[in-house]
Every structure is written in structure tokens, then in C-alpha cells.
């Protein structure tokens, strides 16, 4: 069981690295033409993080290239409620696994 927990924590640590200082390492998946429900013509650009698997989707007006919306589809287990400061605290801890466990316990109490 300890081995499975270690592998799971390494995956979580990858998510925390993206959440903290490193940001996502995005790879451009290309552009797709879209039509919005109101009939506006859009370009949709998708990026995938090759570190954690998160997907970022940007939509832009075709006529002006103005960004109209952006959202992320995060992988299961991604700590989306963790602040950047909390992520940095865990990464800088002597014992990252214990620091993460303490963060999780604090979230359960809150």
C-alpha cells in the first residue's frame, strides 16, 4: 500500500508544481472554427499541459481575434482549490508529503 500511496503522491506533486511557480507547460493542440449559440464566429484554441494533463481552451472572435472566454478542464485529483502560496509552501517544505497531508486535513476541517 505504501508504494501505491507514493505513486499517487508523485502525481499530486506534479499537479502542485503546475499550481505553484512552474505554471502549466502548455502544448498547442491547434485551432478549431466554432459558431457560438448567438451566431458569432469564433476560433477555439486548445492547449494541453504535458506535465499534468490539464486542458486550457481559449475562444476568440474570428473578426478581431479578441479573447472572449478561457476555461480549464482539470484532471481528476488536481488541487483546484489550492492557492499558489499554499502550493509553494508544500513544495518548499522539508517533508512535502507531510505538508500536503496537513493541507488536506486543514481543508477537511474548514
> Mean pLDDT of all residues in the chain?
82
Rounded Cα distance between 31 and 34, Å, is: 9
**What does the pLDDT average to over 55-77?**
92
* Percent over 90 (pLDDT), the chain: 35
DSSP-assigned letter for residue 24: -
Is the pTM here over 0.85, yes or no?
Answer: no
Q: Give me the residue label for grid cell 508544481.
A: 17
Rounded Cα distance between 64 and 87, Å, is: 37
**What does the pLDDT average to over 73-93?**
81
pLDDT at 21: 65
User: Residue 22: pLDDT above 80?
Assistant: no
pLDDT at 13: 80
Cell of 38: 448567438
Amino acid at each position: 500500500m505504501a508504494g501505491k500511496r507514493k505513486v499517487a503522491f508523485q502525481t499530486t506533486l506534479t499537479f502542485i508544481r503546475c499550481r505553484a511557480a512552474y505554471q502549466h507547460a502548455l502544448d498547442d493542440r491547434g485551432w478549431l472554427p466554432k459558431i457560438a449559440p448567438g451566431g458569432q464566429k469564433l476560433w477555439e484554441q486548445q492547449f494541453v499541459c504535458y506535465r499534468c494533463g490539464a486542458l486550457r481552451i481559449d475562444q476568440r472572435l474570428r473578426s478581431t481575434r479578441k479573447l472572449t472566454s478561457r476555461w480549464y478542464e482539470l484532471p481528476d485529483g488536481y488541487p483546484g482549490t489550492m492557492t499558489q502560496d499554499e502550493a509553494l509552501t508544500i513544495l518548499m517544505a522539508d517533508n512535502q508529503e507531510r505538508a500536503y497531508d496537513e493541507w488536506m486535513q486543514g481543508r477537511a476541517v474548514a
